[in-house]
Amino acid sequence: MSTEAEGRAGETVRLGLDLAGAWKVSVASDDALRTSVGLDTDDSEWLEMNVPGHWQAHPLFATSNGPLLYRRDFTMPAPVDGERRFVVVDGIFYQGDVWLDGAYLGDPEGYFIPHAYDVTALSRLDDEHVLAIGATCSPQRDKKNKRNITGVFQHWDCIDPLFNPGGIWRGVRIESTGPVRIDALRVLCRDANEARANLRLHARLDSDGERPVKVVTWVDGEVADVQQRTVAVGSNELEWDVDVSQPELWWPWSLGEQNLTDVRVEVVCDGVVSHAADRRTGLREVSVRDWVYTINGERLFIKGANLAPTRAMLADATADELRRDVELARDAGLDLLRVHGHISRPELYAAADELGMLIWQDFPLQWAYARQIRREAVRQATEAVNILGHHPSIITWCGHNEPLALSVGDGDTFDIKKLAIPFIAGHQLPSWNKSVLDRWLKRAFEKADVTRPVVAHSGILPHLPQLEGTDSHFYFGWYHGQERDLPGFAAMLPRLVRFVSEFGAQAVPESADFMKPHQWPDLDWEHLCTNHGMQKSIFDERVPPAAFDTFDEWRLATQVYQADVLRHHIETLRRLKYRPTGGFCMFAFNDAMPMVSWSVLDHERSPKLGFTALAEACRPVIVVADRPPATVRAGERVSLDIHVVSDRREDLIDAIVTARVEMAHDEKVWKWEGDIAADDCTRVGAIDFVAPFAEGEVTIDLTLECGDVVATNRYTTYSAD
């Protein structure tokens, strides 16, 4: 049991009871839900399970799809006059029913949303209580008409399709307040500069009756605003603005300091703090035009990656593990993590705020959903802003990832030939998900948050009637084409590379015991495809296992291939910096469980070669050449442009760039000297040589030197008759 300290306006000491720990659990049969939710139930023979947690973490429920009934006995003294009590369920996957002492409280829905129920009257009846929660996370059998808003947790090609996230995955507690409770608090930074920042605050207050209240806003320990309001019984919506003079601005890590600002809102009734809520935010301004982002007026080319859940069983992820994912992204030189198809734990966003990592936040919709979810999706989108809106790291909301009714992510191998026609039709023709649901979601986000850009859906190509399009997903060298095709495609259709938010290739992880490599070459390919995401038919085309004598040789080859795809895609997109590309997000950064996937960090965070390639390609300054062909004919003339891409905020003065070509016992050297523009791509010059008549490798080495800034790069081709 814990207590709240005395507040500034004479806040009384109130009870707070944490109900985390061992709960009794049983299969939630209809009979159990009728007869086993009250005080008179004998649950001594029931199994025990930890809350917070997921039921599949329990050995006896490892393959269960639920539902389960949870029970917890506890004692609690009766509230004093003027005190209210609430049961708060901070997170349940995905739906539930809640009883206290057999009295029905409500039916929470939404895995990332806290749910609160007034139990003041019930808590006066006795000191002995039992809380019962029925948790349901139904399998989504019809992948084209899903009803659970659980995103990647229940339909994705990077999580085992047999996995069920069901359970009470976050804490349960008893909260004590005065007559008025802050049910939700939204803190948004509308604009900010060195002279002034403006905060837009929105509160939902739950009152036990009509009464006058004083709403006091504190900013960094100082009173910034006092509102006198009258609230009615039930739910009340309040909105107000607070100005902050001479603010210390928050910046992404590559642009400046991560100054954070503490905001506290107190509701005062009759001179006593009835309830208070705290938010740590950052004062900054975000805008985007043609997919080019600016933070506090500073343009920033986005280098990003798609972030999977830190663990599929998100309740088991520690604060250190969540922070480590952000740290590893910063180590790789990334500016942004796209929280792909899910909403993560609060610790992830706090770490991003503190470390200056930008966040593209997906709403947990992945592929196709049933019509019935529209109203619930709109409600949850608004709650997402209430819960996360104060985080300065979040710069974009995205309503829906790939709202296409394709059969992917359910254990079947992706067959581009079979899916080509429905894929194109899904982009071009109107659909319920793309044309109706996603527009409702976009409006919901824009209404709740006027401070950030909103993307209705990710990965949709321009389509009639208005040729609308969003960010692009391209898998050259995996699902389609060759990994060398991107530069030509970009030159032909520059509109489609304004922001590429998915690209990459699968590679076998370092932590591969789950693949049973000792059985090589007779691995259980079907199991790996069905349960671990491996796309064997595409590996057979790109990096065929049959071509290698050992598992280690094949694994290395897959990682080399993935690294090449990532390196050259990133170099191409960075060369197009602002002309027209505003940034990218490679796919994907990490694994949530043992998988053969597109990640560069496996489920144990052991890096693949792709992680090194990502980090090298995302250095602040890179020197690049037009990529030479894989082979050149003897005597063929080769001409390549040389560019330097700089993300630094100041020019590189008197930089020296050297190009060296070595071939068949011959060497040619070019050298240029001059200034490299800040935050730009600068053409340095061109090299021109004739391929030797002798067969052999031709290497092209590039070096940039400017004070303490050094960048190198190497390309190879092969001269053949």
Contact 681, 702 (CB under 8 A): no
In whole angstroms, give the CA distance from residue 239 to residue 245: 20
Three-state SS string over 545-579 comes to: HHHCCCHHHHHHHHHHHHHHHHHHHHHHHHHCECC
What pairing do the DSSP bridges indicate for beta strands 631-633 and 709-720? parallel
Handedness of CA 375, 377, 378, 383 (dihedral sign): positive
Say yes or no to pLDDT of 2 above 60: no
Whether 684 shows a pLDDT value over 50: the answer reads: yes
What pLDDT, in 10s, does the model give residues 626-657?
999 999 998 899 999 999 999 999 999 999 99
How confident is the model over 428-453, as a mean pLDDT?
A: 93
In terms of Cβ atoms closer than 10 Å to its own Cβ (0-12, 13-18, 19+), residue 84 is: buried
CATH of domain 624-720: 2.60.40.10
The closest of 496, 507, 649 to 584, measured between CA atoms, is: 496
Shortest CA distance to 195 belongs to which of 240, 145, 149, 244?
244
Which amino acid belongs to residue 357? M
Mean pLDDT of 155-180: 97
Peptide bond just before 349 cis, omega within 30 deg: no
Token pair listed for 178: 């005065």
Q: Determine the pLDDT at residue 693.
A: 81
Average pLDDT over residues 288-299: 96
- Whether the pLDDT of residue 9 is over 90: the answer is no
Cis before 59? omega within 30: no
- pLDDT of 13 over the 80 cut: no
Q: Which ranges constitute the DSSP H helices of 429-550?
A: 438-448, 486-492, 525-532, 536-542
The first and second tokens of residue 120, run together, are 């003041």
Q: Are 640 and 628 in contact (CB under 8 A)?
A: yes
CB environment 219-248: b (16+ within 10 A), e (fewer): beeeebbebebebeeeebebeeebebeebb
Nearest to 112 by CA among 94, 97, 91, 96: 91
Residues ≥6 apart with Cβ < 8 Å to 515: 508, 523, 528, 532, 551, 596
Burial class (CB in 10 A: 0-12, 13-18, 19+), 63: exposed
* C-alpha dihedral, 411 to 414 to 418 to 424, nearest 10°: 120
CA distances from 556 to 333, 364, 512, 529, 614 (A): 24, 34, 12, 19, 17
Query: Lowest-confidence range among 368-372, 460-464, 568-572, 641-645?
Result: 460-464
d(CA 621, CA 79): 63
CB 73 within 8 A of CB 107: no
User: What is the model's pLDDT at position 4?
Assistant: 38
Taking residue 284's Cβ as centre, other Cβ atoms within 10 Å add up to: 25
Determine the Cα–Cα distance for residues 531 and 689; give it in Å rounded to an integer: 50
pLDDT band at 465 (very low <50, low <70, confident <90, very high): low
* Confidence bin at 5 (pLDDT 50/70/90): very low
Q: Is 651 helix (H, G, I), strand (E, B) or coil?
A: coil
Question: DSSP code of 572?
Answer: H
Q: CA-to-CA distance for 573 and 538, rounded, in angstroms?
A: 25
Mean of pLDDT values over 280-295: 97
Q: Which residue has the tokens 């506890």?
A: 74
Q: Could you tell me what percent of the chain has a pLDDT over 70? A: 94
* Nearest 10 degrees: Cα torsion 214, 217, 223, 225: -70
Whether the Cβ atoms of residue 107 and residue 95 lie closer than 8 Å to each other = yes
Predicted local confidence at residue 76, as pLDDT: 95
Which class is 305-619 in CATH? alpha beta
- The DSSP-derived string for 295-334 is ETTEEE-EEEEEEPPS-SSGGG--HHHHHHHHHHHHHTT-
Q: Which is higher by pLDDT, 417 or 163?
A: 163
Please state which of the four CATH numbers 2.40.10.120, 1.10.260.40, 3.30.70.580, 2.60.40.10 is assigned to the domain occupying 180-281: 2.60.40.10
Question: What's the alpha-carbon Rg for the chain, to the nearest Å?
Answer: 28
Cα 205-206-210 angle, rounded to 5 deg: 100
Q: Which of 7-16, 205-214, 710-719 has the lowest mean pLDDT?
A: 7-16
DSSP 3-state of 123: helix
CA distance 322 to 630: 41
**Mean pLDDT taken over the chain:** 94
Query: Does the pLDDT value for residue 28 go beyond 70?
Result: yes
Count the residues in the chain. 721
Q: Tell me the β-bridge partners of 197.
A: 192, 244
Q: What is the pLDDT of residue 404?
A: 85
Q: Region 66-92: what's the mean pLDDT?
A: 96
As a whole number of angstroms, the distance between CA 143 and CA 154 comes to 9
38 touches 130 (CB < 8 A): yes
In this structure, how many other beta carbons lie within 10 angstroms of the beta carbon of residue 512?
17
Tens of pLDDT, residue by residue over 171-211, are 999 999 999 999 999 999 999 999 999 999 999 999 999 99
Q: Residue 377 has what pLDDT?
A: 98
- Dihedral, CA atoms, 255, 260, 261, 262, nearest 10 degrees? 160
Q: How many CB atoms within 10 Å of residue 393? A: 27
Domains 305-619 and 624-720 share a fold: no
CA distance 600 to 231: 53
Amino acid at 231: V
Average pLDDT score over residue span 558-573:
98
Q: Find out whether 315 and 167 touch, Cβ atoms under 8 Å.
A: yes
- For 578-613, the pLDDT digits (tens) are 999 999 999 999 999 999 999 999 999 999 999 999
Domain spanning 2-177, CATH class: mainly beta
Give CA–CA dist 209/233, Å, rounded: 4
| 442-448 mean pLDDT | 97
At 235, give phi and psi (nearest 5°): -90, 135
Structure tokens at 404: 């296409």
Domain ranges of the chain: 2-177, 180-281, 305-619, 624-720
Q: What ranges in 357-468 are assigned the alpha helix state H?
A: 374-388, 416-428, 438-448
Supply the DSSP string of 157-211, one letter for each residue. TTS-TT----B--S-EEEEEE-SEEEEEEEEEEEEE-SSEEEEEEEEEEEESS-E
Res 1: pLDDT: 34
Closest CA to 366 of 394, 342, 382: 342
Q: How confident is the model at residue 665 (pLDDT cuts 50, 70, 90)?
A: confident
